[in-house]
Amino acid sequence: IHNVVFEKSSKASYLVAKEIADLIREKNKKGETCVLGLATGSSPIRVYDELVKMHKNEGLSFKNVVTFNLDEYYPMNAESIHSYHYFMNEHLFNHIDIPKDQINIPNGTIDQDEIASYCKAYEEKIAKYGGLDFQLLGIGRTGHIGFNEPGSHYNSITRSITLDQLTREDAAPSFLGIENVPKKAITMGVGTVFSAKRIVLLAWGHKKASVLKETIEGEISPQIPATYLQEHNNTTFVLDTEAASLLT
């Protein structure tokens, strides 16, 4: 892994958005589709704001972009304000020119007995586009990427998982109580993420400092699934000074 540390997450977010925009334009020039893996949560919000600005001010077009989101709670209606569908529409998709049929987010309303085949199809769709050109990630305090909680295998693929207690606690405030946080989610696997040609993980604030130390300096272990990224050949961790504060 290669780390870059910024004093301000705003500057860092701008540079990440710029990298994504450059990739979209480069692919567009060649007449190619740009396949983006996207994350939700607080970490990428500013990156999406910058991309929306680039669309409005510089005419950055997303017509050649296909997106695959990492995860969605299960069960979860797309219309719920708690859904990752809602989050993505609010922060990005409603403000850019991406054709709706080029957006992919795991479906949190799929029948229990159809989850396995649904996940297999999600995985195959990514492969059909030639894999992810760029994957944006955040990191949870459990060391999860996507919702690959501790215990996730390095070659896991899109599947249904049970959320870790700590992850549910961290989500509790926005759900107005832990009892309202879903117990499950559908997530791309570690292997799905790992197959991306380029990975950028964002982490801001002191709350992420200890898990980042373990992720970057610790032994590779399923107990901290993000440690698997140590072996990816094109991953950058973009951190602010607080998140990087425990690194040696």
Name which position in 144, 181, 216, 240 contacts ligand F6R (CB under 6 A).
Answer: 144
3-class secondary-structure state, position 226: helix
Q: 103 is written with which tokens? A: 């957006």
With CB under 6 A as the contact rule, the residue among 71, 123, 149, 240 that binds ligand F6R is: 71
* Stretch binding ligand F6R (CB under 6 A), from 14-22, 25-33, 136-144, 155-163: 136-144
Specify whether the CB–CB gap between 71 and 84 falls below 8 A: yes
Q: Which is nearer to ligand F6R, 64 or 190 (CB)?
A: 190
Residues 9-48 that bind ligand F6R (CB under 6 A): 39-43
Q: Which is nearer to ligand F6R, 6 or 147 (CB)?
A: 147
C-alpha closest to that of 201 among 166, 244, 159, 172: 244
246: nearest Cα among 200, 202, 201, 215: 215
Q: Is 105 in the site for ligand F6R (CB under 6 A)?
A: no
**Per CB under 6 A, 70 contacts ligand F6R:** yes
Which span sits near ligand F6R by CB under 6 A: 48-56, 104-112, 125-133, 143-151? 143-151
User: Strands 71-74 and 184-187, how do they pair?
Assistant: antiparallel
Burial 55-73 (b: 16+ CB within 10 A, else e): beeeebebebbbbbbbbbb
List residues binding ligand F6R (CB under 6 A): 39-43, 70-71, 138-140, 144-147
